[in-house]
Amino acid sequence: MNRAALFFLNVYLYSLFLFISGLVTPILTGVVVALAPISPRRRSMKRFRRFISWYGKIITRAAYPFIKVRYEDHAEQGAEGPFIFVCNHQSASDPFLMSVLPHECVQIVNIWPFRIPVLGVYARFAGYLNIRMMSHGQFIEKASRLLEQGVSVIFFPEGTRSTTGKMGSFHGAAFRLALETKAPVVPLCITGNAQIPPKGSLLLRPGTIRIRRLPAVTWNEYKDVNAFTLKNRVWKIIDRELTSMESKA
């Protein structure tokens, strides 16, 4: 795609993003706020997180046909949620893509997502956890409470977006949480969005993004290993799958 076409594509996509955000977020927020006084807090939170997921779905689908999003569910029947989702991280679009998951979810984030205007405020209200702003003990306590309430948690355990095309090593928090809570760990693989947008840029390029959900690693499969070993096993599962997805792309 030449520079002019790319320029107009980005003007179109960002205008669409702002238009939809300006239209959808006040409506969804209004519904949540209006129903909050007559709903228990738990139900309000569930509704709020569902609306965030709808917003993500609308934003990611609106870019069609320039940016196509394909969700491939390879999960086997059996494992019951809530889940600990573990996903590779190449682009700022990854958090939006989590809207494909049909669960009530909270994302575990770094400092910067909370600083994004408007969206950062929504993330805070939705109970997203900033892992850098709390001790390990506090984090495990809060995340365990979410899982007890039936809320799945999503990790990007590389901590930062990869720029090399190769998945970075994982931090251990997701796997320590798994060992504490016995929750199934679900590997998620994203390909095709390294340029949508690339790290350090806002420039969107057309392409097809694939999100593949793999079978859960259950408590029975990891109960005898430590967090480090579980982390490396899941890293290998995702790495192998990414290689396979990219070779068939």
Q: Is the peptide bond before 187 cis (omega within 30 degrees of 0)?
A: no
Should residue 29 be labelled a site residue for another protein when binding is judged by CB under 8 A?
Answer: no
Q: Which CB, 6 or 227, lies closer to another protein?
A: 227
Q: Select from 58, 75, 79, 227 the one that contacts another protein (CB under 8 A).
A: 227
Helices marked H in the chain: 3-35, 41-62, 94-97, 119-125, 136-148, 173-181, 219-222, 227-247
Q: Which CB, 77 or 135, lies closer to another protein?
A: 135
Task: Please tell me the distance from the alpha carbon of residue 140 to that of residue 163, in angstroms, as a whole number.
Answer: 29
DSSP letter (8 states) at residue 244: H
Q: Which amino acid is at 29?
A: T
Query: Of the ranges 49-57, 68-76, 110-118, 169-177, which one interacts with another protein (CB under 8 A)?
Result: 169-177
SS3 of 68, please? strand
Q: Which amino acid is at 153?
A: V
Query: Of the ranges 122-130, 146-154, 180-188, 223-231, which one interacts with another protein (CB under 8 A)?
Result: 223-231
Should residue 176 be labelled a site residue for another protein when binding is judged by CB under 8 A?
Answer: yes
SS3 of 238, please? helix
Should residue 225 be labelled a site residue for another protein when binding is judged by CB under 8 A?
Answer: yes
Least distance CB 163 / another protein (angstroms): 19
Q: Select from 15, 169, 243, 244 the one that contacts another protein (CB under 8 A).
A: 169
Residues forming the site for another protein (CB under 8 A): 136, 169, 171-172, 176, 225-229, 232-233
